[in-house]
Amino acid sequence: MSPLNPSLRAILTATHGDPFAVLGPHLEEGRLVIRTFQPRATAVRVAIGGQATAVQEMTVRHPDGLFEAVLPGVTAIVPYRLEVTWRDSGEQVTIDDPYRFGLLLGDLDLYLMGEGRHQELHRALGAHPTVIDGVAGTRFAVWAPNASRVSVVGDWNGWDGRIQPMRQRLPQGVWELFVPGVGAGARYKFELVAAAGGPPFLKADPCASAAEVPPATASIVCADSVFEWQDGEWIADRVRHREALDRPLSIYEVHLGSWARGADGAFLSYQDLATRLIAHVQQLGFTHVELLPVLEFPYDGSWGYQVTGFFAPTSRFGTPDDFRAFVDALHRAGIGVILDWVPGHFPKDAHGLASFDGTSLYEHADPRQGEHRDWGTLIFNYGRNEVRNFLTASALAWIEDFHLDGLRVDAVASMLYLDYSRNAGEWVPNAFGGRENLDAVSFLQQLNTLVHERHPGVVTIAEESTAWPGVSRPVHLGGLGFTYKWNMGWMHDILTYMSKDAIHRRWEHTHLTFSMLYAYNENFILPFSHDEVVHGKRSLIDKMPGDSWQKAANLRALYGYMFTHPGKKLLFQGCEFGQWREWNHAESLPWFLLEHAPHDGLLRFVGDIAHLYRREPALFERDYDHTGFQWIDCNDNENSVITYIRRAANPADFLVVLMNFTPVPRERYVVGVPVPGRYDEIINSDASAYGGTNLGNGGQVSTIAAPAHGHAQSLSVTLPPLSCVVLKPAP
């Protein structure tokens, strides 16, 4: 056994930076030399030729598993396979050598990665079953520019990082390897060694298409999808109407892990969730569902907002194709699907993106820029081409591979401000000395531009709570380019107002009306989201004052105001039937409450007003045009009453909305209206079917020739207690 040169010794210690320079076939001094490292083998033979016409025993160059065959007179690299005898079992198997295959990624792939413009990044990186030179296997690739060695490890090689080190492609720092015989379903990770040395460490694949069910953390090789989409009509309609700000948009926000569970408390499958969710959403009349993140995540208590798999639907409920079937079923039922997407931060879990190659690769190295101390998470480095590319490719993959209709971008405010939740001295100003995160602004503009250019009709929604200008304005006009922005100001104001006892509301009247001073600054969505029913904030119905009847009546009035106020709508699961407890991610919603009339009545009202919203163009066509809204009287704070008109694109098509926020009925309440005639009462939140007192106007009321509120005609109406009443001129 001859002494080993440094290159061969580096293979044994898994420190060689270019294993292809040593392993596999090489022409050396007019002969073919084949080397393989098989530490679990007792013997290896090389079979030359496609039909194994010649077999030669390989020499043991080192007892740790380094084998070599020298073929004098063979002056070209020829096909071969390896016949390996395993030490533990004595079994002999024939395998293909990963180190006899050439370069995998093309120059264009590498160039686009370096530029940060590879919009199908997950198709180049990650794990992809393929056939090369007639051999089936899986092509692995990962970006880790600062690692000194990267290996792919899995069940097939005993998770031994010495066996299959990868080839590095410079200057991009991508590592690649084709592993014959590995197919769909195989578990794998990458084993890395930092450039600075130290022990090897394991990372899940950032571009994996699937992962193990948590708390296990391995990535899963996933075959190309065989799912046959049947939602072509839905997609065509989405493209035809583009962003369609003049169409109804009502969103039912859902956490799949707690919306409903099995009798044993186990998660439902994507299929079971689709069946039950479709029936419920159709009953309610909502146009879309919005899913709390289903990107793979390790910790249930994060609700999905601490993501480790930016391209993989969580395996808790099924496979990626099961998720495709879930989306397809909702589309065929006429329901859109929006995803909460989280580019603002990522967790520190050891198998995730943190210090991925031994350096701060995806995050900033300086904790003043790269760490959210409140959340215990890390912040993406938006100034790095490859990081922006990773995130934009993730967003596009969810739209293109899973047919999603929109992305609600989480925690935008935390991205925009360098001093977000930081004290003086804990943050680094931008190049101009300001607090704005200019790299994040550029990233968000790039993201929105890409989504809207490539996928007309797909919406992007910003969860943004500050006065940052132009969040939902086009990028070419200096905006961030989102389709919509959550109206957090309206939400806080109205919940503050509604939490007051009715006798005190006269002093809080501006909380009702202030939103109309800025209603057209952005394209707003009015949200009652999961954030408002956790962490001691109480459920929506429990925020309401009064006894149980008044709480329910208050909540019906609140929903009436939301559905008739300008802006699109969002309501979190469980709020539609008034669950009493705060939301708990670890339990099913308390559906048994619907056996009780007050909760069933609330559900009926939400369904009826949501259907009314979709039927009446006056409630959505001019959401973002000041001509679609007109106060009748916004100043009656003594009675805590507001009245207003909503108009459709056709000004003659309008509704009159009457809101009474006290438990005192108002008889013969005078309201000025634009045209004479009969007005039909098309919804009344105090109807007995909803759990109310059934006070109202007998279904209709006619005008009298008495001027009021600047109109020549008026109505004398009955306003039920704690109610929303909507009137429509009769044809």
Helices marked H in 195-300 — which ranges?
232-241, 256-259, 270-284
What are the tens digits of pLDDT across the range 525-539? 999 999 999 999 999
Q: Is residue 718 pLDDT above 90, yes or no? A: yes
What is the identity of the amino acid at 569? Answer: K
CA distance 539 to 353: 35
The class (CATH top level) of 6-100 is mainly beta
Look-up of token digits 């930076």: 17
pLDDT recorded at residue 37:
95
Whole-number Å distance between alpha carbons of 59 and 68: 5
Q: 63: how many CB neighbours lie within 10 A of its CB?
A: 9
What's the DSSP call for residue 100? G
Active site residue: 410, 493, 522, 616, which one? 410
Residue 683's pLDDT band (cuts 50, 70, 90) = very high
Q: What percent of the chain is modeled with pLDDT above 90?
A: 92
Which tens digits make up the pLDDT trace of 558-583?
A: 999 999 999 999 999 999 999 999 99
pLDDT for 201 equals 97
Domain ranges in the chain with CATH number 2.60.40.10:
6-100, 107-220
Distance in angstroms (rounded) separating the CA atoms of residues 252 and 249 = 10
For the domain 625-729, what is the CATH code? 2.60.40.1180
Query: Quick one: which H or E segment has residue 528?
Result: strand 524-528
Per-residue pLDDT tens over the stretch 436-445: 999 999 999 9
The kind and range of the H/E element at 302 are: none
Give CA–CA dist 531/534, Å, rounded: 6
| Fold classified for 107-220 | Immunoglobulin-like (2.60.40)
Q: How confident is the model at residue 260 (pLDDT cuts 50, 70, 90)?
A: very high
Residues of the chain with CATH 2.60.40.1180: 625-729
Rounded distance between C-alpha atoms, residue 269 and residue 267, angstroms: 7
DSSP 439: H
- Structure confidence at residue 1 (pLDDT): 57
Identify the band that residue 49 occupies on the pLDDT scale cut at 50, 70 and 90: confident
**Sign of the torsion angle spanned by Cα atoms 662, 665, 669, 672:** positive
Give 279's contacts (C-beta < 8 A, 6+ positions apart). Answer: none
Mean pLDDT of the chain: 95
Tell whether the model's pLDDT for residue 77 goes beyond 90.
no
Q: What is the predicted pLDDT for the residue at 50?
A: 58
Give me the mean pLDDT over the 668-694 stretch.
97
Q: What is the dihedral of CA 363, 364, 368, 371, to 10 degrees?
A: 10
Task: Give, for 510, the enclosing helix (H) or strand (E).
Answer: helix 510-513
Q: What is the pLDDT of residues 279-327, one digit of tens each?
A: 999 999 999 999 999 999 999 999 999 999 999 999 999 999 999 999 9
Please name the helix (run of DSSP H) or strand (run of DSSP E) that holds residue 526, with its range, or none: strand 524-528
* Residue 103 pLDDT > 90: yes
Concatenated DSSP letters of 587-642: S---GGGGGSHHHHHHHHHHHHHHHHHHH-GGGTTTTTSGGGEEEEEEEETTTTEE
Q: Where are the beta strands (DSSP E) in 627-712?
A: 629-636, 641-647, 654-660, 666-673, 678-684, 700-702
Mean of pLDDT values over 375-382: 95
SS (H, E, C) 11-62: HHCCCCCCHHHCCEEEEECCEEEEEEECCCEEEEEEEECCCCCEEEECEEEE
Distance CA 152, CA 160 (A): 9
User: What type of residue is 10?
Assistant: A
241 pLDDT band (50/70/90 cuts)?
A: confident
Other CB atoms closer than 10 Å to residue 570's CB: what's the count?
Answer: 26
Interval 400-412: pLDDT, tens:
999 999 999 999 9
Decide if pLDDT at 618 tops 90: yes
Rounded CA-CA distance 730/676 in Å is 10
% the chain with pLDDT above 70: 99
Q: Would you call 463 a catalytic residue per the annotation? A: yes
Does the structure show a pLDDT above 60 at 224?
yes
Residue type, 430: N
Q: β-strand 484-486 against 459-462: which pairing, if any?
A: parallel
Q: Residue 97 corresponds to which tokens in the numbers above?
A: 């050598």
CA dihedral sign of residues 274, 276, 280, 285: positive
> Of 4-18, 21-35, 329-343, which range is least confident?
4-18
Of the residues 463, 493, 532, 576, which is catalytic?
463
Residues contacting residue 108 through CB under 8 Å, at least 6 positions apart: none
pLDDT tens-digit series, residues 171-193: 999 999 999 999 999 999 999 99
410: annotated active-site residue: yes
Instruction: Check residue 75 and give its pLDDT.
Output: 81
Q: Residues 6 or more apart from 331 whose CB is under 8 A from it?
A: 231, 234, 235, 337, 403
Angle (deg, nearest 10), helices 438-454 and 385-402 = 30
